[in-house]
Amino acid sequence: MNYRESLEFLRQLTKFGFNLGLGRIQELMRRSGSPQKCLRFIHIGGTNGKGSVAAMVASILQAAGYRVGLFTSPHLHSYTERIRINGQNIPEEDLAALLTWFKPLLTSMVAEGYEHPTEFEVGTAVALKYFADEGVDLVVLEVGLGGAIDSTNVIPISLVSVITNVGMDHMQYLGNTIAEIAAVKAGIIKDQGIVVTASRRPVALEVIGRTCREKEAILYQVGRDVTWRERRVSLAGGEFDCRGLLAEYTDLRVPLLGRHQLENAATAVATVEAAVRHHGLQVSPDHLRRGLAAASWPARLEIMSREPMIIIDGAHNYDGAVCLRRALEELFHYQRLILVLGMLADKERERVVAELAPLAAAVVVTRPNNPRAGNWQSLADSIGNYVGAVEVIEAIPAAIKRALTLAGTSDLICITGSLYMVADAREWLKSLQKEEFPGR
C-alpha cells in the first residue's frame, strides 16, 4: 500500500469501533515479534492534561540527549502526528510500509477465529514496532481511553506510570462514578512500579493509593511530594518555581497557556525525576529547564490571530471547560466573547454549556466531523438558556466566518469543543492568507 491507500485502510478499520480489552492487541503483538518487550516506557493516562504532560516529558528527555518516541492520539491534521521520534512525525512511506506489513497478520488473526483488531489497536501496534525498529531510547506512551483496558496497556512494565487526574468522561466505557473511572485508569499501575499523579479528588486518590498498596508500587503525588508556586501566567506562557523530588527549581518556564499548564508542568517534573531516582536516567536541572521551555502542544489555548483575537482549545469535557473558563476570565482581555462550539454527543454537553455560555455575547454552534456528533443542533437549545444570540451553522469554515462578522477588533473569538472540530478549524485558519489576519 502507498500512503493514501494506507490511510484508507485505517479509515476502514474504524468500523470496528471502540472494542476495549487486551486480547486482540496481545495476540497482534505476539505475531509481530513482541516489540514492546525491548522498549522502555513512560506511560501517561488521565482524564485531562495527559497529552500536555506527555509532550513536556518527551521534550525534557529529548533535551537530555535521549532519542524519544512519542505516541499520542488523536491527531490534528495528519495521522503521522501520532507517532513521533524527537518531534519528527513518522515518514508517510514508513507508516504505509508498516501497515502493509501488518495487514496479513490481521488477516491471519481473523482467519484463525480472533476478533479483528480496532483502528486504535493497529495504530498502537504500528507505533510500538516503529519505535523498536528505530531503536529509540525511551517511549512516552499516552493512554488512549481509560487505562486497564486500553491497547497501550499491552506493555509489560513502565519506568513510571502517570495518572494526571480523574474526571467524568467516556462514562459509557469507563463507569459512572469517579471511583469506577479511577479504577480503570489505575489499571496502568504495574507491580512494584513507580506512579505519579496530580489527581486532587479524594475518591480518586483513595482508589489510586489502594491500587499502589496492592501492587506494592511507590506513589508520588503532585501537591504533596512535588509542589509548585506560580510566578506569572500571561499570553507568553507560565513561569513557576517547583520543589521536586530531587531538587528545587526557580523560574521554570513553559510556553503552553493557562494556569492549569503549570500543574501539568509540575507533573512532568515529578515524572522525569521519578525516572531519574528509580531508573538512573541522566537528566540535569538544565535539561529539565530547556525541555519545558521547548514543549509544544497545539490546539490547547492556542492563539491563531490577534486582530481579532482568535483562540482554539480542545475543551471537550467538563473539566476542560472549567480550565478554559478560568483562562478566559483571567488571561484574556476583551470586550465581548464570541463562542464557536461543537461537541460530540457522548460528552457532558449541558455541564460544558453551563460553564462557558454565560461568558459569551453570542454563540455559533457547528458540527464536528465525526460520526459521534449525534444531534449536534440540540446544543443550541441548551445554550439559549444563557445567551440570546445563538446560531446554528453546520460547516465549520462558515461558522468561523460568521463569528468573524460578529466580532469587533476588541472582541475575542474562542473556538472550542471536540478536538475533531477544533482540528478542522485550525487547519482552515492556517490555510488563510496572512493578509486576512494581519495581526497573526
CA torsion sign, 85 to 89 to 95 to 96? negative
pLDDT band with cut points at 50, 70 and 90 for residue 17: confident
pLDDT digits (tens, 9 = 90+) for 119-176: 999 999 999 999 999 999 999 999 998 889 899 999 999 999 999 999 877 666 678 8
203: which residues sit within 8 A by CB, 6+ positions away? 177, 178, 179, 182
Cell digits of residue 236: 507568553
Peptide bond preceding 298: is omega within 30 degrees of 0, i.e. cis? no
What is the mean pLDDT of the segment spanning 421-439? 77
3-294 under CATH 3.30.479.10, yes or no = no
What is the residue extent of each domain of the chain? 3-294, 302-436
- φ and ψ of 243, to 5 deg: -100, 105
**Percent of the chain whose predicted confidence (pLDDT) is above 90:** 84
Instruction: Give the per-residue pLDDT at 438.
Output: 46
Q: Over the stretch 31-65, which tens digit does the pLDDT of each residue have? A: 999 999 999 999 999 999 999 999 999 999 999 99
For residue 239 the three cell numbers come to 513561569
What backbone torsions phi and psi does residue 13 show, to the nearest 5 degrees?
A: -70, -20
- φ, ψ of residue 416 to 5 degrees: the values are -150, 170
In single-letter form, the type of residue at position 103 comes to K
SS3 content of the chain, % helix, strand, coil (to 5): 45, 20, 35
Topology of domain 302-436 in CATH is Protein-Tyrosine Phosphatase; Chain A (3.90.190)
How is residue 423 written as a grid cell?
Answer: 482540528
The whole-chain average pLDDT of the chain stands at 93
